[in-house]
Amino acid sequence: MNLVCPLPQLDFDVITLGHGSGGLLTNKLLESGVFDLLKNPLLDTHHDGAVFTLEGQLAFSTDELCDFPHFFPRG
């Protein structure tokens, strides 16, 4: 079995912490090809969350800043 995972053509050489900031660098990284690789109707909205219907609506986010654990303040 030969699996291939194509990488997007990036216009920068290094991915830095700034690319994970959720700002302009994140958008540049995603627009450089990631959105094309993962293209589907659900992800094409480019939202950072999702809405699930489970006996009503539930909003789900993977943003790590939603919670502040007691053992790691401001984490």
Cα 71 to Cα 69: distance, rounded to the nearest angstrom: 6
Q: For residue 69, what pLDDT is reported?
A: 59
Mean pLDDT on 1-15: 71
Query: Which residues does residue 23 pair with via DSSP β-bridges, in sequence order?
Result: none
For the chain, the domains span: 18-66
At position 20, the amino acid (one-letter code) is G
Q: For residue 19, what pLDDT is reported?
A: 84
pLDDT tens-digit readout, 21-75: 888 888 888 888 788 888 888 888 887 766 677 888 777 666 666 555 566 555 5
Q: For residue 48, what pLDDT is reported?
A: 72
Cα 56 to Cα 31: distance, rounded to the nearest angstrom: 33
**What residue spans of 1-75 are helical by DSSP H?**
24-29, 35-37
Supply the pTM of this predicted model: 0.52
Mean pLDDT on 5-34: 80
